[in-house]
């Protein structure tokens, strides 16, 4: 069964002769340029999450730094 892009249904050509997509490997559709990974539950190619869903680190913006900076 050929691998297909979930967006445009184009057949994905793996770089190595593989029978099934490997978990943890990023594949790319050569038509719509989406990066795809295998979903381990459904065994289908899917688009990975765009944003890291881990808790925010202690980051500050330039505006926040200006407000907290002490003046001499």
Q: Which helix (H) or strand (E) holds 65?
A: helix 62-68
Q: What is the pTM of this model?
A: 0.60
On whether residue 7 sits in a domain, the answer given is yes
pLDDT at 37: 92
Residue 69 has pLDDT above 60, yes or no: no
58 against 70, higher pLDDT: 70
62 occurs within a structural domain? no
Range of the domain at 12: 1-51
Residue 56 lies in a domain: no
How many folded domains does the chain comprise? 1
How many whole angstroms separate alpha carbon 29 and alpha carbon 10? 7
Residue 60 lies in a domain: no
Q: How far are the Cα atoms of 1, 9, 12, 45 from residue 21, in angstroms, in the given order?
A: 11, 16, 10, 8
4 found inside a domain: yes
Express each pLDDT in 6-41 by its tens digit.
999 999 877 777 778 888 889 899 999 999 999 989
Average pLDDT, the chain: 77
> Is residue 33 situated within a structural domain?
yes
For residue 32, the domain's CATH number is 2.20.28
Percent of the chain surpassing pLDDT 70: 68
Q: Is 10 exposed, middle or buried (0-12, 13-18, 19+ CB in 10 A)?
A: middle
């Amino acid at each position: 069964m050929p691998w297909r892009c979930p967006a445009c249904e184009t057949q994905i050509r793996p770089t190595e002769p593989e029978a099934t997509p490997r978990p943890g490997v990023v594949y790319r559709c050569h038509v719509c340029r989406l990066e795809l990974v295998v979903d381990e539950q459904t065994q289908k190619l899917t688009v990975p999450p765009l944003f890291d869903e881990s808790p925010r680190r202690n980051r500050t913006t330039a505006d926040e730094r200006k407000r907290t900076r002490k003046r001499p």
